[in-house]
């Protein structure tokens, strides 16, 4: 079974630009979560999508947005990039573990550098 | 204040040692407790998860949750150089898929 795919793996942008990151979940998984990982703050939850609907959102400004397509692939967008947006952006594909906790499988991440 | 605090490390141990990694949390609403391992330039991979209190063992790894003291631990027996990675604890509430992560402990096992 193929794992979670994230593209691109590396990205360099300048302040003020916008960026779109893509995530393809594990086949059959319908829920995708996005996290930002930085050395200072660690992993922080951005948002979760299920069946093309945002189900939950973390405490990030409106410059961070996302969407999910009918094939469960998801994109996240960051507009008006700031230096502090430099981070590893991780996508997690949620499987059903037969309980109220859904085991989350992470992709390799997209390393975004803002200059 | 973060939902979960993790001993920052870094931690350096000789091969074969027993490793103890620890986290604390403050909100008793959290019911699911996870340990992830993250190698350099990779995404986190789930090692173990525990629901509510108790111990769970998987090979050389044991996860322990004490809900009364809001303390979670991961023990690694007979540590190997391949265990060198960053270990992240994570917690979740029932019915919620957003995980709260500790900042991670970088472990180095020296051959």
Q: Which residue has the higher pLDDT, B95 or B63?
A: B63
Whether A101 contacts chain B with CB within 8 A: yes
- Element of type H or E holding B13: strand B11-14
Minimum-distance CB partner of A48 among B95, B97, B102: B97
Nearest CA to CA, how far is A105 from chain B (Å)? 7
Please list the alpha-helical segments (H only) found in A1-115: none
The answer to whether the CB of A62 falls within 8 A of the CB of A78 is: no
Whether A41 contacts chain B with CB within 8 A: yes
Q: What is the mean pLDDT of residues B89-96?
A: 87
Q: Is the pLDDT of residue A98 over 60?
A: no
Phi, psi of A83 (to 5 degrees): -55, -35
Q: Chain A contacts of B65, Cβ < 8 Å?
A: none
Please report the beta strands in B53-111, taking only residues with DSSP state E, as ranges in sequence order. Answer: 54-58, 61-66, 71-76, 85-93, 100-101, 105-110
Both tokens of B70, joined, read 């809001």
Q: Which of A56, A101, A108 to mutate to test the interface with B (most CBs of B within 10 A)?
A: A101
Q: CA separation (Å) from B89 to A104, A111, B10, B22, B37?
A: 13, 22, 15, 8, 9
A97 confidence band (pLDDT: 50, 70, 90): low
Q: Is the pLDDT of residue A102 over 70?
A: no
């Amino acid at each position: 079974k193929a794992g979670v795919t994230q593209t691109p793996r590396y990205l360099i942008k300048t302040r003020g630009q916008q960026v779109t990151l893509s995530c393809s979940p594990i086949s059959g998984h319908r829920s995708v979560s996005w996290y930002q990982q930085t050395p200072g703050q660690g992993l922080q939850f951005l948002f979760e999508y299920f069946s093309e609907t945002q189900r939950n959102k973390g405490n990030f400004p409106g410059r961070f947005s996302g969407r999910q397509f009918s094939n469960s692939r998801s994109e996240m967008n960051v507009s008006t990039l700031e230096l502090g947006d430099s981070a590893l952006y991780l996508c997690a594909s949620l499987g059903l573990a037969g309980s109220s906790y859904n085991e989350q499988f992470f992709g390799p991440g997209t390393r975004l550098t803002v200059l | 204040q973060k939902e979960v605090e993790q001993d920052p490390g870094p931690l350096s141990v000789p091969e074969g040692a027993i490793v103890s990694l620890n986290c604390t949390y403050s909100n008793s609403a959290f019911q699911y407790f996870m340990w992830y391992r993250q190698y350099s330039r990779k995404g986190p991979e789930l090692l173990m998860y525990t629901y509510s209190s108790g111990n769970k063992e998987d090979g050389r790894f044991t996860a322990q949750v004490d809900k009364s003291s809001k303390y979670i631990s991961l023990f690694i027996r007979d540590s190997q150089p391949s265990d060198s990675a960053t270990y992240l604890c994570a917690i979740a509430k029932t019915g919620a898929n957003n995980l709260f992560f500790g900042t991670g402990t970088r472990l180095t096992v020296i051959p």
